Structure 1
């Protein structure tokens, strides 16, 4: 019996303020019955100690799982009588650290649940908790997350500043990140310079500010922290570089097209050339861009794009092209197809096969077409 009592104390060590009376194994559920110890309790109103019992009631709480099985606690709690005249008549005893008022879970189960939902939030947290034999809805998980205390605030040495959309094209905000720990520091309700400047002045200690290319943030940092180091963060640096490279490549699309197969002179290319000619003819006559768009039934931005192009070839985009096994024989195929009479495709396929082509016939036909 002493060994069983020692095992119970070991397994339920977090419930040491309670007196465990019975543990029942019900398959997937472990039901535990306990009671509060028989000792005097101070009245929460006047502080006078009393042990006079008015009545008893039971509280049902969930505890941490044992061997992947849920643990349900039924605790008998006393209602005591306050001896002070004029104070509250009765009160229920509380056990801080074990039984909190109005809660259906023990403190250690609430701590375990909070650790999971802090990292995974609602639905994902519920799926992980179900694997730990903890039943919880996603709404309860979010309420547990909202009850968690905020971590202590420390002003970061390296501060990351960036804007994001609360509602795209309507409402934006500013998020502040600790660039070293990658944790959120604060969220400002707008993207203005005044709000960021006020925050920086109220929280001294920032030495380096990583930001995007926004002039608004640059002005706020310049006014609040004139001696701080201002740098561009890695994401915006690569993003801006990629945008510049994409713009440069698009501007020389005609040059890139010469490196691959010639662009197909199909209906789309012909339409592009005709529209370019129509737009430039109207512009030469002194017609404005908006009037051109109305006459040609085109969008204003489309007319602007045609007007900026010095020649129609700048608008004919090069087709997407990837190297194939037929590329080494391109000159031979061009020469053979230009000779009269036209050589059948099957004969061309046999010719390049004899020269070392190792691809399939379907790949060759798609290339020719």
Structure 2
């Protein structure tokens, strides 16, 4: 599966969607699957709490301009662009898919992929860890609040039932994980790979339950191929706009060094699938969940492909700078002409 031009985990998700389409949970099976999904969501956020170091989340506050820029991109720029997409409703985009776009726009950033791409691009990894961790920590509170503000017509308002579900399924397990972190933190890190499989398996279960409910309500009869194409295009445009804005702001407004520019671009443009799917199951009831999580599934794959290419370009640029510096040192230490070597370096990298 690693040879496929698609993230293997996305391929598994698509397989689960196909399974839910052919064999949706129904009757008592749907009740049991729904209960299992709720327990899986609680387990996910318990693991998030056990993994997240408070020191890592709040360390490096000296980079407050960078962290503020990342949070503004995640929780201000994205929602504003999502509201602008509302101009396409109902002529181009249906209301349920628009709700999914808005939900995508209020999600926190990713942690693992943001740090991984920052590392590949030779960026400030420590700052990326702080920024992504802070985004996810705040997301437990900010995302539901923004859903209540922007999606009140679709979600039925921010009722006490929704608040109770958030506390019970998201916040309480997260706090429990944080409290138990001194006791189980080493175990979680030691068995990171195995727990990661359970982590991802839980998300697949959430997808199955969400799309089973959607299939029961006729989701595929309401989603045409043209709607899917429009959704893919909107996700790509949304990502492109955020990447462009974060790049311009970093270079010409905040004048960050390239290492911090990389952090803003990768942490500020990502949206977390791992947090989004469980949150959707808590915040949205009934068959609409399937339509709402579809944009984040598509956006996740697009952001992985695009950011992988960007990380490679930044990495090559860093190699070019290192080679140029080495040539400069050589020029100071010798009398040889280094211009032909510089041309060779440029040809090899470019």
TM-score by length of 1: 0.18
**Over alpha carbons, which structure has the higher Rg?**
1
| Structure with higher RCO (Cα < 8 A, 6+ apart) | 2
Q: More strand by proportion, 1 or 2?
A: 1
TM-score by length of 2: 0.19
